[in-house]
Structure 1
Amino acid sequence: MSEQQQNNQGEQASQDPSFSLQRTYVKDLSLEMPNAPQIFLEQEGPSVEVSLNVGGQRLAETVYEATVTVTVTTRIQDKVLYLVEATQAGIFEAANIPAEQLDPLIGIVCPTMLYPYLRANVADAINRTSLPALHLAEVNFQSMYEQRIAELAQQQQGGNDDSGIILPPGATRQ
C-alpha cells in the first residue's frame, strides 16, 4: 500500500466517532442514621423515598464527566431510619460526535453505564448498617432525558423566567 493511501486511512480513522468509558469513581457517599439506636426498637415497617438526578460537564476537548446522584431517605413514621446520598461519576471520552448527539450521549448512555456501580455502592452502604438490604430499581434514563427536554421546552415557551435556573419538581421561585 502506498504511503499516501496509509495517510488517508489514518486521517479517516481519526475523524471517525469514538466513545469510551475511561474511569468510574465514587464522587460522594454519605450515610446518616440520626435516630440510632432508638429507631431499632420501632416495630413498624419503613417507607422509602428515592430521588435521582444526572449531570455532566466537559473537562477537556473530548473528555466529559457524567454523574448520577441518588438520595435515599428511609423513615419510620416521621423519624429518619437512614439517609444515603451517593454520586457515582465517570470520565468518558467522546470524539467526533455530532453536537446534536452529544447531549443525549451524556444524558442517557453515560448514566445508564454508571447506574449499576451506583446501585452496588448504595446497597453496600446500607448493608453496613445491619438493616435489611435495599436494592434500587432499574431506571429508564432515556425516559428521564425526554421528560427533562419536554420540561425545558415548556419553560422556554412559558417565558416566565429567563434566568437559566432550572428548579426541581415541586420547587417554587420566591
Structure 2
Amino acid sequence: MADENTATNNDNPTFNLQRAYLKDLSLEVPNAPHVFLEQQAPNVEVNIGIGAQRLAETMFESTVTVTVTTKIEDKVVYLVEATQGGVFELANIPDEQIDALLGIVCPTMLYPYLRANVADAITRTTLPPLHLTDVNFQALYQQRQAEGAQQGEGNLPNGKAEDSSGIILPAGATRQ
C-alpha cells in the first residue's frame, strides 16, 4: 500500500519556486550632481521583458527585466536596468501548460522582488523613490500569443527564449 501511495505522489504535478535572485542590476546617474538641482519633474519610461530557459528536465529559469529611463528634457536623470531571476521546479505538468506558467505565473511571482530592488537602488541615489506599477502578465501573455499567431510564431518556448518586444508603461503609471 505504501508503494501505491509513493507511485501516485510521484505523478502529482509539482510547481515550486526554488530560488529568487537578483541576476543583474545597473544604475547610472550620468548628469550628477547637476541633475540634483533640477526642479522640474522628470519623464519616466519603463520597459519590461520576460525570459525563460530550461535548466534541466524539471528545472527552469524565469527572468523579468526592467529598464527605467528618467529624463528632464534631453538630460538623463537616471537609468536603471535590472533582471530578477528565479529557478522553478515544474514536474509532471503537461507541456501545453508549461508555457503559461513560464509566461504568466513565474514573472508574476518574481516581479515584486524586482520592484523592491529597483526602488531600493533609486532611493540610494538620494532622488525621490520610484515605485513600479503592477503588471498584468496574463494580459501581456495573451497579447504576445495573439501577436505570435498573426506572425506565425510560437509561444514563449520552454527551451530558451526571451520576449524582447518589451512592455512600455506610461510615465504616469509608474509613480505612486
TMscore range, shorter length: 0.7 to 0.9
CA distance in 1, matches of 2:148, 2:52: 17
Question: Which ranges in structure 1 are unaligned for 5 or more consecutive residues?
Answer: 158-164, 170-174
Which residue of 133, 146, 150 maps to 1:150?
A: 146
Which residue of 75, 80, 87 maps to 1:84?
A: 80
Match of 2:7 in 1: 11
Match of 1:103 in 2: 99
Larger Rg: 1
The number of residues matched between the two structures is 159
**Helix, strand or coil for the counterpart of 1:25?**
strand
**Helix, strand or coil for the counterpart of 1:134?**
coil
1:140 aligns with 2:139: no
CA distance in 1, matches of 2:112, 2:165: 24
Question: Which ranges in structure 2 are unaligned for 5 or more consecutive residues?
Answer: 154-161, 167-176
Which residue of 45, 48, 54 maps to 2:50?
A: 54
Shifted more, 131-140 versus 36-45: the winner is 36-45
Match of 2:156 in 1: none
Q: Percent identity?
A: 64
The answer to whether the Cα contact below 8 Å between 2:49 and 2:165 also exists between their aligned partners in 1 is no
Match of 2:112 in 1: 116
Shifted more, 6-15 versus 73-82: the winner is 6-15
**Helix, strand or coil for the counterpart of 2:89?**
strand
Provide the aligned C-alpha RMSD in A: 1.7
Shift of 1:41: 2.1
The answer to whether the Cα contact below 8 Å between 2:49 and 2:66 also exists between their aligned partners in 1 is yes
Shift of 1:154: 0.7
The answer to whether the Cα contact below 8 Å between 2:46 and 2:67 also exists between their aligned partners in 1 is yes
TM-score (norm 1): 0.87
Match of 1:26 in 2: 22
Shift of 1:8: 1.5
| Residue type of the alignment partner of 1:63 | M
**Helix, strand or coil for the counterpart of 1:60?**
coil
TM-score (norm 2): 0.86
| Residue type of the alignment partner of 2:33 | P
Runs of 4+ more than 4 Å apart:
none
Match of 1:125 in 2: 121
Shift of 1:167: 6.3
CA distance in 2, matches of 1:167, 1:84: 17
Shifted more, 5-14 versus 21-30: the winner is 5-14
1:168 aligns with 2:160: no
Shift of 1:67: 0.3
CA distance in 2, matches of 1:129, 1:166: 30
Match of 1:63 in 2: 59
